[in-house]
Structure 1
């Protein structure tokens, strides 16, 4: 995937159409100091913007691959465009994640991109583990990286809330103890 080309086109359209979005996934982890390779883009987007997003990405030669109430996945037959996944924000917690997102510079400062804060990425990773325990090794490695790299600036109360939601209080204790 040519991230620069895709992001320039996508983010220009998002700005023009006031799309509420935030980058998440491997690319976002990289922006917060983690080293995570990725071959696609993952976004959290406001559910009310889904139809406009669909128009934007299909105009860029993407085709819908999979769609549910919670997610839309697009792929392109053009290798340069790769795949893009959109997680639909419609519950209070995910809407709040979009509100907390911050602008990050990418590609040497050429582009600014709304990005989930590390705590919210951790929350989504915990949810992924809860929903699919086979992802635990990959997602816990991402969580540990985010926590380690950003430990001085984390909102631990928010991380504790996420751990409690998914019945993972033991993970919270291990994360805190691992930093001592």
Structure 2
């Protein structure tokens, strides 16, 4: 995985996903990500699942976690993404984003940083100027949760109401 990460940097990719779990990103790679204004979508939930599948434990996951921490400390924008998949490693669709937020907090992001990684930062970095904040005139996508995710990131799992493009939807009951 480290080789693929290095190839993506050398190719000039703006967004690099799948933080390596097999080797530490050295200072040069981390500083290059920051200096070049690149974005990281580490997909920690996928890295955790792959590590468990490869060796039956989370032993390799610690390196992925450390790599995210290094990127975050260097000021690299971290965006939330899971790369949900049921073929390589079981990462469920939908609910895995809550786990991803928890893993980002565990890797050193604040709860506010993790929430921004799933909301305003993707909107900004992908040029989606009509969303990413709760403001008049913007697309009305909103999730109401029971609890305070700033105090406890796991509160994102307790979804009470959902609006997409201003239309209310019923949340799933098994979140």
* TM-score (ref. length: structure 2): 0.30
RCO comparison, higher one (Cα < 8 Å, 6+): 1
Q: Which has a greater percent of helix?
A: 1
